[in-house]
Chains A and B, each alone.
Chain A
């Protein structure tokens, strides 16, 4: 690359078909080479009201204290400081801070619920509860 450093790449899972993709670290979104759908790869910080069917990223997601999300959420790492109504899947961990209000089913490898947070829903937490990530470790 002329005048630039070597681009760093990382392996992610397509948020639609869960197959492995290799993308540039700086990429904000890519087209999946398996299912041809758009995959958001940037870290998301939600500071306002979001109501959609699916809210996915193959990176970190943080719902700030003013963030209100009504959606099925999928992310690598999920931190909730605001409100989430909908199912959530995190490839790694889910963290609910003291202001978090969550109604929905959660799935992930780890869960931290800080004192003060509220969570109502079905929970599947554990190293075996996210089998999709096995493809990344190969």
Chain B
């Protein structure tokens, strides 16, 4: 079994504290630790850790996620998702690896496997954050 996601404090440049409440869109690089309440969406190329006191109502796109608190919303992870004993996940998961520990709750649709391609994280440019390039259908007009 591969190593579990490290949740040491040093790994997280961004921390939303236990008494904090955040509403909105969070886009960044690196890891985030959520001990408080979060409502909105998270997009990162790093990892997300939701501690026991953390409560998310969000659309999350990240490289990996470790959940000890509650997440209501859809999750897309390019690498690994860990639902730990106290974790509660209510929403859809798309990831290449998934671990659900005994005691954790997961209710939702699941797409897991090496073939599952998660949407790449957005590219950060000098002008700001850009969405990843999308394929456009070519229409043969008359």
Contacts and interface: CB of A to CB of B under 8 A. Distances in A.
Contacts of A129: 105, 107
Given A119-B113, A123-B108, A113 B102 contact: no
Nearest to B81: A113
Contact of A125 (B1, B104, B112): B104
A127 B109 contact: no
A115 B2 contact: yes
Interface stretch (A36-44, A60-68, A76-84, A104-112): A104-112
Nearest to A107: B107
Q: Is the interface of A mostly helix, strand, loop or mixed?
A: strand
Contact of A112 (B80, B100, B107, B110): B100
A124 B93 CA distance: 12
B56 interface: no
A128 B137 CA distance: 45
Interface residues of A, number: 23
Contacts of A24: none
B98 A119 contact: yes
A111 B111 contact: no
A50 interface: no
Contacts of A126: 88, 104-107
A108 B90 CA distance: 15
A72 B88 CA distance: 26
Contacts of B1: 114-115
B101 interface: yes
Given A117-B112, A119-B110, A125 B105 contact: yes
A113 B107 contact: no
B109 to A, nearest CB: 5
Contacts of A111: 98, 100, 106
Q: Which of B80, B98, B103 is the most central at the interface, judged by chain A CB atoms within 10 Å of its CB?
A: B98
Interface of B: 1-2, 80, 88, 93, 96-116
Interface of A: 93, 106, 109-129
> Shortest 8 CB-CB distances between A and B: which pairs?
A118-B113, A126-B105, A111-B100, A113-B98, A125-B106, A123-B110, A110-B102, A119-B112
Given A114-B1, A125-B100, 6 more contacts: A93-B102, A110-B100, A117-B113, A123-B110, A125-B105, A126-B105
